Structure 1
Amino acid sequence: MSENRLEQILLYLKNHSIATVEQLVKVTNSSPATVRRDLIKLGKEGTILRTHGGVSLNQFIPHQPTTHEKSHKQIAEKDRIAEYAASLVSPGNSIVLDAGTTTLMIAKKIAHMSLRVITTDLHIALLLSEYKQIDVIMTGGRIDHSSQSCIGAHGVTLLQNVNPDIAFVSCNSWDITRGVTAPTEEKAYLKNRLSINAQRKVLVADSSKYGKYSLFNVSSLTDFSDIISDNGLSDKQRNEISDHSFNLVLV
């Protein structure tokens, strides 16, 4: 019961800028004391912030989540996103795959094709290296332990000298105002270079990451030709991002 109640609270906060204890009591059909205990728990976890007049979601991401942490979240949504993303790829294409659990799912869905794949992700490179018809290029450089991917100047240089058909960029935070952001300057710059010369620039990001932000800017959402997310975005969020130059696909 407590997990369901926490989910109800988080869903309400996702769809509203701020909530009072009284509002959450009605939403969860619980007592004020129970709701306050839940809010204390969520506050200790860093999930919410106390604000004047109520509580709101803490949308700031200070650190890079680990691959293990991300692999257990939004699995169904990521699979749908990956399925649609894979449909954009044709045999013979050259593509860039950013590091991430969603892009790893894309890799699994295109492994039957004859492709040239450039990636920063160790898991993706090892997976696709099993398929003889795929030419795999790793960007190289220092290994980031949280994402288990390559970062640094070596990878940036390579990415600036390739001209892929499609670049699939993942993220932990995206927002119409701040764009795509990353917790470190080095990670942000590398992500910016991932799609620099691509004919088609595709952001793959599930709805749970929308409205969140980190310290360093990667790019504006309008830098992408396509954004693929899931139908978990609220009506307010959809309206914020639908009237722009990129092609928004919700699966």
Structure 2
Amino acid sequence: MASKGKSRESTVAPLIPDQRREAMLRLLRRDKVLSLHQLMEALSCSHMTVRRDIVLLEQEGLVHTVPGGVRVASQLATEPSHVSKALVDGGEKRAIAQAAAPLLHAGMTIYLDAGTTMLAFVPHILALSDITVVTNDFSIMQALMNALHVTAIHTGGLLDHANRSSVGDLAAATLRQLAIDVAFISASSWDLRRGVTTPSPSKIDVKRAAMDVAEQTVLLATSSKYGTFSTYKIADLKRFDHIVSDASLPRAAASGIVAAGLSLRLAAVD
């Protein structure tokens, strides 16, 4: 009887690739993070097979690699404050600003979205002889206060205390009265599958209004925010003319973005 049982088990067909990847997603949704070895054991497959599946899932924005393993794309429930953002990824933000700086030239009008990555952009703006900067960020306005060669326009609007910026309909209404050459947009969560998202509904109209009135739109976002998502969608990644991130963006994620026909620049961090 035991031998018959073994015979029946041996006839069970292995999972086809789509079934295996769906099983991997179920495991990750349950446990959030798993090592490669755990996935090999749970799925009864080789290291190479697990790695191939992870690459495909990461290209779709469903998972995100971590050292030695993988985590499921996670949800950002609340927007981090300006203070907490300023404490992380300083080198990455400066590198992203440096990589995006060639998009600037004298005489243009640009929009700088709120955020500490945009604040790292200010030294490159100050190096230009003539430029108009539109922003909803109070820290950026403070940094431009003594730059007499820069024309600065603040959107006004409802004060977001934690992020030191203006949000809501009034800020969006100001932007809709302007013609902008390039809108530089920040993101607290982004991936290929869901695009740019936010946990704060008051930010939606401002970001979309800036993108609508701009000739070009550029996403500036650190790799640490990739593979996360929030409740409210701002835009698909295909809505951006350029995406600038740092070189720590996982290779599979970068390949998926490029394969989707998007322009991606990865900045090396010193």
Give the aligned partner of residue 248 of structure 1: 264
Asked whether 1:132 is paired with 2:155, we answer no
Q: Is contact 1:96-1:195 (8 Å) kept?
A: no
Question: Which secondary structure state, in structure 2, belongs to the residue aligned with residue 181 of structure 1?
Answer: strand
Matches within 5 A, 1:66-81: 66-81=81-96
Asked whether 1:187 is paired with 2:234, we answer no
Instruction: List structure 1 runs of 4+ shifted beyond 4 angstroms.
Output: 20-24
Give the aligned partner of residue 120 of structure 2: 105
Please, which runs of 5 or more residues in structure 2 have no aligned partner?
A: 1-27, 40-68
Question: Which secondary structure state, in structure 2, belongs to the residue aligned with residue 132 of structure 1?
Answer: coil
Q: Return the offset for 1:108.
A: 2.3
Quote the Cα distance in structure 2 between the aligned partners of 1:102 and 1:185: 21
Q: TM-score, normalised by structure 2?
A: 0.72
Matches within 5 A, 1:1-251: 18-20=33-35, 56=71, 59-113=74-128, 114-251=130-267
The 1:212–1:159 alpha-carbon spacing in structure 2 relative to 1, beyond 3 Å, is same
The 1:131–1:239 alpha-carbon spacing in structure 2 relative to 1, beyond 3 Å, is same
Q: Return the offset for 1:79.
A: 0.6
Q: Is contact 2:73-2:227 (8 Å) kept?
A: no
Q: Return the offset for 1:177.
A: 0.8
Deviations 1:64-88 (A, max 9, x none): 1011111111111111100111221
Deviations 1:110-149 (A, max 9, x none): 1132111000000001111210011100000111012110
Quote the Cα distance in structure 2 between the aligned partners of 1:68 and 1:135: 27
Q: Is contact 1:94-1:164 (8 Å) kept?
A: yes
Quote the Cα distance in structure 1 between the aligned partners of 2:177 and 2:197: 24
Flag the structure with more relative contact order, 1 or 2, with Cα contacts below 8 A and sequence separation at least 6. 2
Q: Is contact 1:225-1:245 (8 Å) kept?
A: no
Q: TM-score, normalised by structure 1?
A: 0.77
Quote the Cα distance in structure 1 between the aligned partners of 2:213 and 2:206: 13
Q: Is contact 2:169-2:205 (8 Å) kept?
A: no
Give the aligned partner of residue 43 of structure 1: none
Deviations 1:177-214 (A, max 9, x none): 11000112111222121221211100000101111011
The 1:21–1:225 alpha-carbon spacing in structure 2 relative to 1, beyond 3 Å, is closer
Q: Return the offset for 1:246.
A: 2.8
Instruction: Give the letter aligned to residue 97 of structure 1.
Output: L
Please, which runs of 5 or more residues in structure 1 have no aligned partner?
A: 1-12, 25-53
Give the aligned partner of residue 44 of structure 1: none
Quote the Cα distance in structure 1 between the aligned partners of 2:81 and 2:166: 14
Q: Which has the larger radius of gyration?
A: 2
Question: Which secondary structure state, in structure 1, belongs to the residue aligned with residue 185 of structure 2?
Answer: strand
Q: Is contact 1:204-1:229 (8 Å) kept?
A: yes
The 1:21–1:87 alpha-carbon spacing in structure 2 relative to 1, beyond 3 Å, is closer
- Identical-pair percentage: 34
The 1:161–1:246 alpha-carbon spacing in structure 2 relative to 1, beyond 3 Å, is farther
